[in-house]
């Protein structure tokens, strides 16, 4: 575990963002002037020392930042430190971004509610950090500041999304192109996932043929509920979804790093072929992230990822698109390309399946009729529009020579021909 905090410490806009349920008379700006400004600098130094101690594997130094009277919190932080033992951290830093007002602590000193941004990078995998917000209670005792508690955020999901090491001891499996981190998982299972993930990288390289990191980080929580915690949402919303990729559209440079998060329950139900397709699909999202924008429709981003996943396989279209096959056979030919709201995980299962299948067939049609290079060119062109409205039509006309209405009509015919 190597590395130091990177970048200069900058004091955030301390009044913006958060005044955590403190009495109005106490709400204020930790950094206004005088003693408050001194306290803010002391808090920032404490957080810096805490980050350095974690990177240096200094348990005593890390725990020195925890309030000695908050025995429960100290015990929890000792577990977190242990859980991180095998995680290959490159950087780890905290940035104070918001505070509430100071109020008297129990017995002596002061306490304050604070919002802190944690950012970290994994050695050899992250060129940009993963970030997470933490809502902390800070306490001053004998002129020294400590972290006394981490507070629940909106919706009761803790301080936003939890991290894998908050859930248990992290086991690490390293592949040639992949890093798999699991909590509550057997090392044997993680190694198998790493082998599958390793095969996805060259497959995606061949499908995308663009610049990307050529490696993937996979997180495997213990359960569906634990997956939801990592995503900051109820796990039930991901039931039946084998994996999800986190990241930011257009992600490059300082944008947060991607993570593929596996639903261990749904993933386990898939055979070797299905697992390969799923991880290739998610890895394609990692590869295309920098060329995906708010103008990119989900039918294109999800369809391309599925096209990359099924590319080169010998499965018939009816096998890959069973839901649409049933609809076409019943005379219910789709009328329009899948809309973004058709991809809601919490929606009706058949509608979601049909959305993915129709999107895959749209990208497959482009590759079949115009060629794979044109499909890649169209993907990039569609992301260049400042607004979603009109961006796809413009990209279609520039790259494929057809408008959206013409393309949709051709797609409807292609779906019928392939599945009918």
Distance CA 193, CA 310 (A): 18
- For residues 38 and 411, give the distance between their C-alpha atoms in angstroms, rounded to a whole number: 64
pLDDT at 247: 73
Q: What was the pLDDT predicted at 349?
A: 65
Q: Do 366 and 374 meet the contact criterion of CB atoms below 8 Å apart?
A: yes
pTM for the model stands at: 0.86
pLDDT for 196-211, tens place per residue?
999 999 999 999 999 9
Neighbours of 296 (CB within 10 A): 25
Per-residue pLDDT of 125-160, as tens digits, reads 998 899 999 999 999 988 899 999 998 654 444 445
Whether residue 30 contacts residue 112, with contact meaning beta carbons closer than 8 Å, is answered with yes
Ranges of CATH 3.40.30.160 domains, the chain? 167-290
pLDDT in the model for residue 19? 25
pLDDT means per 10 residues in the chain (420 residues)? 36 27 29 61 96 98 96 97 97 90 64 93 92 93 92 50 93 97 97 98 96 95 95 89 80 65 96 97 96 94 98 95 96 93 74 94 98 98 79 95 97 95
Q: What is the pLDDT of residue 240?
A: 87
Whether the Cβ atoms of residue 308 and residue 203 lie closer than 8 Å to each other: yes
Where does the chain hold its CATH 3.10.450.50 domain(s)?
A: 24-160
Residue given tokens 């106490």 in the structure block: 26
In this predicted structure, what is the pLDDT of residue 110? 84
Q: What is the pLDDT of residues 228-285, one digit of tens each?
A: 999 988 988 898 899 999 875 554 444 567 999 999 999 999 999 999 999 999 999 9
* Domain spanning 24-160: CATH 3.10.450.50: yes
What homologous superfamily is domain 167-290 in, according to CATH?
Collagenase ColT, N-terminal domain (3.40.30.160)
- Cβ–Cβ < 8 Å for 51, 93: yes
Q: What is the pLDDT of residue 162?
A: 87
Contacts of 336 (CB under 8 A, 6+ apart): 408
At 403 the pLDDT is 96
């Amino acid at each position: 575990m190597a590395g130091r905090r990177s970048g200069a410490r900058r004091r955030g806009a301390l009044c913006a963002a958060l005044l955590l349920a403190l009495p109005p008379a106490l709400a204020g700006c930790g950094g206004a002037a005088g003693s408050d400004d001194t306290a803010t600098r002391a808090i920032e130094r404490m957080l810096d020392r805490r980050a350095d101690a974690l990177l240096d594997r200094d348990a005593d130094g890390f725990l020195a930042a925890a309030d000695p009277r908050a025995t429960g919190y100290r015990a929890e932080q000792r577990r977190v430190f242990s859980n991180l033992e095998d995680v290959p951290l490159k950087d780890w830093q905290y940035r104070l971004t918001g505070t509430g007002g100071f109020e008297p602590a129990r017995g002596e000193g002061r306490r304050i509610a604070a919002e802190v941004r944690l950012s970290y990078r994994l050695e050899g995998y992250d060129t940009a950090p993963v970030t997470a917000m933490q809502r902390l209670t800070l306490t001053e005792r004998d002129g020294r500041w400590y972290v006394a508690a981490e507070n629940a955020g909106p919706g009761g999901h803790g301080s936003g999304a939890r991290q894998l090491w908050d859930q248990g001891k992290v086991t690490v499996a390293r592949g040639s192109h992949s890093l798999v981190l699991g909590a509550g998982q057997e090392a044997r299972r993680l190694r198998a996932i790493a082998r599958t993930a390793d095969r996805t990288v060259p497959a995606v390289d061949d499908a995308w043929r663009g610049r990307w990191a050529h490696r993937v980080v996979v997180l495997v929580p213990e359960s569906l509920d634990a997956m939801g915690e990592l995503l900051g949402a109820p796990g039930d919303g991901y039931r039946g979804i084998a994996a999800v990729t986190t990241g930011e559209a257009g992600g490059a440079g300082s944008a947060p790093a991607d993570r593929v998060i596996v639903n261990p329950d749904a993933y386990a139900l898939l055979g070797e072929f299905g697992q390969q397709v799923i991880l290739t699909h998610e890895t394609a999202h990692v590869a295309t992230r920098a060329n995906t924008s708010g103008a990119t429709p989900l039918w294109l981003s999800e369809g391309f990822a599925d096209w990359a996943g099924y590319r080169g396989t010998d499965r018939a279209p009816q096998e890959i698109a069973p839901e649409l096959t049933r609809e076409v056979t019943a005379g219910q030919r789709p009328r329009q390309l899948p809309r973004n709201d058709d991809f809601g995980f919490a929606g009706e299962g058949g509608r979601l399946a049909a959305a993915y299948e129709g999107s895959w067939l749209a990208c497959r049609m482009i590759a079949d009729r115009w060629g794979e290079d044109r499909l890649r060119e169209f993907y990039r062109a569609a992301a260049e529009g400042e607004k979603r409205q009109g961006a796809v039509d413009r990209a279609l006309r520039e790259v494929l020579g057809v408008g959206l209405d013409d393309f949709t009509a051709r797609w409807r015919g292609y779906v019928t021909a392939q599945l009918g």
